[in-house]
Amino acid sequence: MKKLIAALAAALMLSTVAFAGPLIGLQVTPAVDAQAGLVMGWDFGYASIEGSKTNFNTWYGEWSLAGLWTPDNNGFSYRIGPKITWDWNRHTGSLTYKDLSIVVGAAKTWGAFQVFGEFDVGSTGTLSLRPIIGLNILFDGFFPKDDTE
């Protein structure tokens, strides 16, 4: 049964990657002593799935996963969607829910490079607003599409 589930998960990941271009990047909250976050995911053109991790020296710590709708308008793409954040506890090994936020932002893409800014509007008991700026590398941008076909 475990092999069947692993095979189905692998098929799902391969089919997702077939329709998307991978991305990798860095993001940071513009504040004193802020840690940069590593961003990895897939860009579908009209949407993206992004996972991020801060504190690169350990697997433990804060992780997040966002599903973003990214419509284009006048050379910019907008970033709108939910982001869930959790904490992987070093001592217990458990994943603990930390925050569910709504991402609202914009991005500008030049070929394979994308600069973005966003606000994460959080729901941790009180309204929180966290600005984030970042740079993504869209690997699909290194291979221009032939529009003559």
pLDDT in 10s for each residue of the chain, 149 residues: 667 666 666 655 555 555 578 999 999 988 888 888 999 999 988 999 999 998 788 888 889 999 999 998 888 999 999 999 999 888 888 889 988 999 999 999 998 999 999 999 987 777 888 899 999 999 988 877 666 65
Contacts of 62 (CB under 8 A, 6+ apart): 53, 54, 55, 85, 86, 87, 98
Q: What is the largest CA-CA distance in the chain?
A: 57
Nearest alpha-carbon partner for 23 in 141, 137, 111? 137
- Kindly report the pTM of this predicted structure: 0.78
The domain spans of the chain are: 21-142
CATH of domain 21-142: 2.40.160.20
Residue partners of 56: CB distance under 8 A and separation at least 6: 38
Predicted local distance difference test score (pLDDT) of residue 126: 79
DSSP state of 45: S
- CA angle (143, 115, 57) in 5-degree steps: 95
